[in-house]
């Protein structure tokens, strides 16, 4: 029997079944009990390889578990599936302070990587609210972005090499440690952002950067979205490359995170339409602070910033980031319907306006909270009012938003379905894509377009056979 074979590979204590599985939640945002048939916890690449090989031989579907912080249900396992969790593979293998690399197993949390880099005066720049729980393997598998994308890029830009295990147990070693590597195929790219559909990431070589010696932060208010984009262009130019974060909060989100029961208090009045948490990171504390403040003063002078508060301590900076990171405030109101959409800056305001208008027209009781990394993505979350009847199913909402995204030329929604697994390398259009076509008239592509900006709106799964 398969379970006994798996126990023989990873040990009795590392194959969880029954109540041990049910006592775990589905994920960060979904606290229902996990339904997997079993959770298998290998401790090494060799064990991952042998577990997958056994599952492959019997056609057993496997779902990969990282830190379970993904917000698109990629790690939701059903009763007939086995979950392979990377939680025991949490070793930081080595740090090379000269080459500025770190070699880690896939189950190390992002925050541990950041802290380890700091010990060497270095920076691991990928950072987002789930840093304490999200694994580096999950971050690479989802090509996570976060607060520093505008300066350092997404996870892809911080992965120099990796090791992955295919569904049949074959180990793919691609542990490159160099920044320049033009030796033929860059195999690691197949596993970054493909959510485990092509294999399990087991180890990674990460690129580290020099730690900035100074950080300047401010919260500013802008009267219009156009002013926000003007401010972005202005401050990026004025800082000469040291802009490191540009986080936008629409009014409703700002009020939510600065009004009890939220812990945050409003550093600026709650009356403005747009709030930007802006940050720069440089190498000269005295000069950088002056340059930062001058740039903000010039923006006020030009009229696209109408109010601003500049941080003078680390505690103030932490308080600002706590506002931006307080996504849980939305969950306090109930289970949200979340849209996490990347789109060109020029399209962002129109897209948000139209989504909001349509939602309000059809379901007036909805509340929405919009925030995001400008120059990276905007995220819209909506909540169904408890009194409201006849609310749509989540999927229908998602597909309608998908139709909008396609119409404004933002690429297609893409459902990484079971068929996208190794067994069938050329995926067919999934049911959701077909439904989207019926609903929007847009014709979904058979493949994600290289370089296309894909609205990540549909349910994403990563079973591998
Ligand atoms: C509060 C909060 C803030 C967030 N902010 C951002 C943000 O700013 N930007 C952003 O991009 N994302 C953000 N996220 C989502 C982010 O993508 C995920 O948190 C993270 O990347 C997933 O890592 P994980 O280890 O939790 O993976 P999981 O959620 O466990 O898994 C995610 C997917 O990757 C697969 N997977 C996991 N591990 C592996 C592996 N080793 N090999 C292959 N496949 C694997 C899973 O099967 C699943 O399909 C946020 C999430 C939260 C909760």
CA 131 to chain centre: 10
Is the pLDDT confidence value at 449 over 70? no
- Could you identify the atom of ligand 1 that is nearest to the CA of residue 71? 15
- For range 77-106, the mean pLDDT: 97
Q: Does the beta carbon of 148 lie inside 6 Å of ligand 1?
A: no
Is the pLDDT confidence value at 450 over 50? no
- For range 155-165, the mean pLDDT: 98
- For range 212-239, the mean pLDDT: 96
- Residue 143 CA to ligand 1 center (angstroms) comes to 8
Q: Are 363 and 392 in contact (CB under 8 A)?
A: yes
pLDDT digits (tens, 9 = 90+) for 361-420: 888 888 889 998 885 644 445 454 433 333 344 444 444 444 544 444 433 333 333 333
- Residue 263 CA to ligand 1 center (angstroms) comes to 26
- Residue 63 CA to ligand 1 center (angstroms) comes to 14
Task: Indicate the pairing of strand 200-207 with strand 62-65.
Answer: unpaired
Q: Does the beta carbon of 37 lie inside 6 Å of ligand 1?
A: no
Cis amide bond preceding 249, omega within 30: no
Query: Which residue of 82, 138, 422, 453 sits with most ligand 1 atoms within 8 Å of its CB, as the best mutation to test the pocket?
Result: 138
Domains of the chain, each with CATH number or no CATH: 2-85 (3.30.43.10), 92-210 (3.30.465.10), 214-326 (3.30.70.2190), 336-464 (3.30.70.2740)
The pLDDT assigned to 344 comes to: 87
pTM of the model: 0.83
Q: Extract the tokens encoding 276.
A: 């930007």
The pLDDT assigned to 10 comes to: 98
To the nearest 10 degrees (0 to 180), the angle between helices 345-362 and 394-407 is: 140
Q: Does the beta carbon of 267 lie inside 6 Å of ligand 1?
A: no
Helices of type H across 267-344: 285-302, 314-325, 328-332
> Kindly report the CA angle at 343 between 233 and 409, in degrees rounded to 5?
120
Query: Which residue of 125, 126, 128 sits with most ligand 1 atoms within 8 Å of its CB, as the best mutation to test the pocket?
Result: 128
- Residue 90 CA to ligand 1 center (angstroms) comes to 16
The pLDDT assigned to 461 comes to: 38
Q: Extract the tokens encoding 446.
A: 């058979």
Q: Does the beta carbon of 40 lie inside 6 Å of ligand 1?
A: no
Nearest CA to ligand 1 atom 39: 138
Percent of the chain with pLDDT over 70: 80
* b/e code 166-175 from CB counts within 10 Å (16+ = b): bbebebbebe
The pLDDT assigned to 373 comes to: 86
Q: Are 84 and 103 in contact (CB under 8 A)?
A: no
Nearest CA to ligand 1 atom 43: 196
Nearest CA to ligand 1 atom 12: 144
Cα distances (Å, whole numbers) of residue 240 to 215, 217, 250, 418: 14, 16, 27, 46
C-alpha to C-alpha distance for 395 and 416, rounded to whole angstroms: 15
């Amino acid at each position: 029997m398969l379970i006994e074979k798996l126990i023989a590979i990873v040990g009795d204590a590392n194959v969880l079944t029954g109540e041990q599985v049910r006592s775990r939640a589905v994920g960060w945002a979904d606290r229902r009990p996990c339904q997997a048939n079993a959770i298998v916890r290998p401790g090494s690449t060799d064990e991952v390889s042998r577990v997958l090989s056994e599952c492959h031989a019997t056609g057993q579907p496997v779902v990969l578990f990282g830190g379970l912080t993904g917000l698109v249900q990629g790690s939701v396992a059903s009763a007939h599936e086995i979950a392979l969790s990377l939680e025991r593979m949490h070793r930081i293998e080595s740090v090379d302070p000269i080459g500025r690399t770190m070699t880690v197993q896939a189950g190390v949390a992002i925050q541990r990587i950041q802290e380890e880099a700091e010990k060497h005066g270095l920076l691991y720049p990928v950072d987002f609210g789930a840093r304490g729980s999200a694994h580096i393997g999950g971050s690479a598998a989802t090509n996570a972005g976060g607060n520093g994308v505008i300066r350092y890029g997404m996870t892809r830009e911080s992965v120099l090499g990796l090791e992955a295990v295919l569904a049949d147990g074959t180990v793919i070693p691609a542990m490159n440690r160099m920044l320049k590597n033009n030796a033929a195929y860059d195999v690691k790219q197949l596993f970054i952002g493909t959510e485990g559909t092509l294999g399990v990431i087991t180890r990674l070589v990460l690129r580290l950067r020099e730690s900035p010696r100074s950080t300047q932060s401010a919260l500013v208010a802008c009267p219009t979205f156009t002013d926000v984009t003007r401010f972005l262009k202005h401050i990026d130019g004025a800082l000469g490359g040291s802009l490191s974060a540009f986080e936008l909060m629409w009014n409703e989100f700002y009020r939510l995170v600065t009004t009890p029961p939220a812990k945050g208090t409003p550093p600026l009045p709650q009356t403005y339409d747009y709030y930007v948490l802006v940050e720069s990171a440089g190498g000269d504390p005295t000069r950088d602070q002056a340059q930062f403040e001058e740039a903000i003063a010039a923006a006020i002078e030009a009229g696209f910033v109408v109010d601003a508060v500049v941080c003078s301590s680390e505690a103030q900076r932490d308080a600002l980031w706590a506002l931006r990171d307080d996504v849980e405030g939305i969950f306090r109101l109930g289970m949200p319907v979340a849209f996490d959409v990347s789109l060109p800056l020029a399209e962002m305001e129109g897209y948000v306006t139209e989504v909001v208008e349509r939602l309000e027209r059809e379901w007036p009781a909805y509340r929405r909270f919009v925030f995001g990394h400008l120059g990276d993505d905007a995220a819209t979350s909506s909540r169904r009012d408890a009194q409201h009847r006849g609310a749509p199913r989540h999927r229908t909402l998602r597909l309608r938003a998908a139709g909008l995204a396609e119409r404004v030329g933002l690429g297609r929604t893409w459902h990484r379905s079971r068929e996208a697994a190794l067994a069938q390398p050329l995926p067919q259009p999934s049911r959701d894509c077909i439904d989207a076509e019926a609903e929007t008239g847009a014709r979904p592509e058979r493949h994600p377009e290289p370089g296309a900006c894909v609205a990540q709106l549909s349910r994403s799964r990563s079973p591998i056979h």
